[in-house]
Amino acid sequence: MVYLDNAATTGKKPMSVIKAVNSTLLELSANPGRGGHKSSVRASEAIYGVRQKVAKLFGASGEDRVVFTPSCTASINIVLKGILDRGDGIVISSLEHNSVTRPCETLRKSGVEVSVAEVIFGDNDATVRSFERAIKSNTKAVLCTHASNVTGEIMPIAKIGALCKQKGILFIVDAAQTAGVIPIDMQGMGIDFLCIAPHKGLYAPMGTGILIAEKEITHPLIEGGTGVNSAVAVQPLEYPERLESGTVNLPGIIGIGAGVDFVNSKGIENIYKAELDISRYIYNGILKTSGCVLYTPIPEYGKFVPVVSFNIRGISASDTSELLDKADIAVRGGLHCAPFAHKRLGTIEGGTVRVSPAIFNTKRDADIFLFALKRISFNYKNSKKH
Amino acid sequence: MKRYFIITGTITYAIKCRDALRQNGYKAELKRTMNSGGNVGCGYGVVTVSYLDEIKNIMSNYGIRYLQIKREGE
């Protein structure tokens, strides 16, 4: 199997992550923060160590601001529903995933004003001006994806962060496609809330998410047991426990720690370069394949994450994906849960086929994919002649 | 130097507190307690041997919130 759907989740996990998860289940299976016995304390210490690693990697102000969640989507919901009230406004970009647009639609129905800032392809300054125009007197927060999961475009996060600071507005970043792939510095980029999918660029197990909350969440989405002050009726104010009610995913969190170590050992810049090199190779191969249409310029360093969207003219994205699957190649066809981005590309009816390499993919994988693609396109063309 | 028990609101702050004290050369150990700084219910804290002012300085310098600092045995 050639796995090229790493924007959904990295298909191959490092052996160090697998071993860390296994050894947690074998040797550290106690509920952290729920007891005074040695096993529970060891589990708490292990989680604390992962918080430190995550805080350092993303430039957070402290490990206590690192909250573990079940997914990046959960992180986004915790922030949006935790800070916005009736009458408040939020500005989102025109590239957002359903993980953002759906909770925003719920908030809109409850009296939150949702505005959309148009992303201007290839012109970061114009995109920042779009955000500036969309900001109103009631705007409490801006939310922007760090990179599109459909086109791979990287957004001018530092510039939008500076705009938010200037206006006194909270800045939320969806880093599902970028954490572990390109450098993120929360302090330097003016990010107040960073939402992360560690099972993607950090090579952690699925079912994990991270929220780094530099500012207060006034209404926790989930309330319940935190292991402290148990007789008190209200949710504690201290972070991260305020946002971590219920037993946390200890094996998954330890897997995040091992994933961070893996990324650090390779170097984010090296990972990014290797993945973008493969993306560019794939892009050029698709470009030379008869009958294919691409939707972006060739992915340039610093402007794109390793994601390439395309279609074969006359074949639906889902059929192309299915034919590739028959050749043991995993890609993702459809709307990628991001209808906004597809409306912009003009592909809302059928979506696109998305190819997204990760560090374990090789040029050989790309060649196998391109060979299969040429064969599918050739067979389709021949079938039309007869 | 005297033996103190620093009660924190969370296990995260307890670990942070312990590490900060150790980094400053004091012995420090985590401890589970049922007396969590005036609140009712379980909690965590750190037992250390140090000076009260020094403990307060370290807590302040490291941004560690605590609920109470008690002399052990009080």
ipTM of the assembly?
0.85
Q: CA A265 to CA A325: how far, in whole Å?
A: 32
Nearest to A231 among B10, B40, B44 (CB): B40
Phi-psi region of B46 (alpha: psi -120 to 50; beta: other; left: phi over 0): beta
Bridge partners, residue B6, by sequence: B46, B69
With pLDDT > 70 as the criterion, what percentage of chain A qualifies? 100
Are A191 and A272 members of one domain? no
Give the Å distances, CA to CA, from B64 to A378, B5, B68, B69: 65, 14, 12, 13
**Segments in chain A below pLDDT 50:** none
Please name the residues in contact with A295: beta carbons below 8 A apart, sequence gap of 6 or more: A151, A309, A310, A345, A347, A352
Are A271 and A139 members of one domain? no
**Global confidence as pTM:** 0.94
Domain-terminating residue out of A231, A265, A299:
A265
β-sheet with A89-93: strand ranges across: A66-69, A209-213, A193-196, A170-174, A139-145, A89-93, A113-117
Q: CA A319 to CA A98: how far, in whole Å?
A: 23
| CA neighbours closer than 13 Å in the CB half-sphere of residue A211 | 29
Q: CA A299 to CA A94: how far, in whole Å?
A: 20
* Coil, helix or strand at residue A309: strand
Are A57 and A80 members of one domain? yes
**Count: domains in chain A:** 2
CA distance A252 to chain B (A): 18
Are A205 and A305 members of one domain? no
Are A184 and A324 members of one domain? no
Range of the domain at A329: 267-385
* Coil, helix or strand at residue A355: strand
Q: Do B12 and A36 touch (CB under 8 A)?
A: no
Are A31 and A148 members of one domain? yes
CA distance B39 to chain A (A): 6
Whether the per-residue pLDDT at B37 is higher than 60: the answer is no
Chain A hits for B32, CB-CB cut-off 8 Å, are 35-36, 41
**Model pLDDT for residues A289-309, shown as the tens digit of each residue:** 999 999 999 999 999 999 999
Amino acid identity at A121: F
Phi, psi for B9 (deg, rounded to 5) = -80, -20
Are A218 and A277 members of one domain? no
Q: In the CATH hierarchy, which fold is given to the domain comprising B2-71?
A: Alpha-Beta Plaits (3.30.70)
**Model pLDDT for residues A251-264, shown as the tens digit of each residue:** 999 999 999 999 99
